[in-house]
Amino acid sequence: MKISIGKAAKVLGVSKETLRRWEKLGRIKVFRTRQNHRRYDISSIQDYSIRKTPVDTTKTTIGYARVSSQDQKKDLISQAELLESYLAKNGWTYEIIQDLGSGLNYNKKGLKELISLICSKQIDRLVITHKDRLLRFGSELIFSLCEHFGIEVVIMNASKELTFEDELVQDVLEIITVFSARLYGSRSKKNKNLLDKLKDAASQI
């Protein structure tokens, strides 16, 4: 019996992206339908799930980029391009993970994929442009995971430390952004004006 990539991911307890990565590395057998959809033999999947995952000899570097909202998509592209240039310049084999969501949100697709890669020891290096690109509060948790699994962390702009006031402004703006998405959904002009005033006030701190 052959199953879809979604069901196979659940059986193995990994993400779809991880299965695709294993396919590229030749670590797991994949069948293709006439429509070119992936299918996995259930018996092989079950056998694989109880075996120790083989050591990955072709680990890669992950560049992680994130912005908080839709209107920052240009910044997301710029981050990704900056990471790609830096990683290529260093001659590393790399992939870029991009996230669109608040730094207060731990449930972002890209972040979950990154954590999965870290915990399954599939990468040897994590590169970010700034510390807060991971999470607004809690980046240290990801760094601790990396340390535990022997993964190097590179923060490109680590030397450019923000002042307390700058960090406070960014934190306030991040929190406002979270509530903006909810209040904008009500299409209330009053709510939008209120949030705009809050952002202006925060920028004056």
Active-site residues, by number, are 68
Q: What is the DSSP string of the chain?
A: -EE-HHHHHHHHTS-HHHHHHHHHHT-S--EE-TT--EEEEHHHHHHHHTSPPPP-SS-EEEEEEEESSGGGHHHHHHHHHHHHHHHHHTT--EEEEEEES-TT-S--HHHHHHHHHHHTT-EEEEEESSGGGT-SS-HHHHHHHHHHTT-EEEETTTTSPPPHHHHHHHHHHHHHHHHHHHHHTTT-HHHHHHHHHHHHHHHT-
CB atoms within 10 A of CB 18: 18
Q: How far apart are the first and last CA of the chain?
A: 62
